[in-house]
Amino acid sequence: MRHIAFILALLTLQCSAQDHVRWASTSRKLSTSDYEVHLVASIDSLHHIYALNTSIYSIRTRVEPQKGPAPFKVIGALRDTAYAKLTRYDSMWREPMTVYLGSVDLIQVVHFTQWVPKEVVFLVFYTECTDSEVGIVRREKLVVHFL
């Protein structure tokens, strides 16, 4: 009996360890010191991630730029363009939640105050789940290249 429980635990762990969201990053030059950073998630079918505006902070998608070699500041709020953005009642949280399906492009403008570096690291925190599974909180480290 213990062997069956162990095998079931391994299968559950393997299922939860699969990442159904893939990330890519790009930048677009707006001026000599301003760039638009694009963090793009491709989400497998039957899966979703919670949106930027989700009311529960611990599961919402959020982005944290890391200090880079050159001083910079973010300009304006992080915004999204989603392939499919759906607001629906979430029975686990007992309130309406907005989720991204398919893909989402998170866009942030950054301003470099002295010089433009080759790259800056952004951390993306998101919760990936299906309608029948409890969400898995993940952290993705994305290197955004400039120049």
CATH number reported for the structural domain that contains residue 27 in this entry: 2.60.40.1250
pTM, whole model, 2 decimals?
A: 0.84
77 within 8 A of 39, measured Cβ to Cβ: no
Computed over every residue of the chain, the mean pLDDT equals 87
Q: Is residue 106 part of a domain?
A: yes
- Number of helices and strands (H, E) in the chain? 1, 8
* Number of residues in the chain: 147
Tens digit of pLDDT for each residue in 16-28?
A: 557 899 999 999 9
Assign 84 to helix, strand or coil.
strand
pLDDT at 1 over 80: no
Q: Is residue 82 part of a domain?
A: yes
Domain of 52, in residue numbers: 20-145
Q: Is residue 39 part of a domain?
A: yes
Please tell me the predicted confidence (pLDDT) of residue 132: 82
Please tell me the predicted confidence (pLDDT) of residue 12: 42
Please tell me the predicted confidence (pLDDT) of residue 133: 81
Produce one character per residue of 23-58: b if its CB has 16 or more CB atoms within 10 Å, e if not: bebebeeeeeeebebbbbbebeeebbbbbbebeeee
Total domains in the fold of the chain: 1
Average pLDDT over residues 36-59: 94
Q: Is residue 43 part of a domain?
A: yes
Q: Is residue 3 part of a domain?
A: no
Average pLDDT over residues 9-14: 40
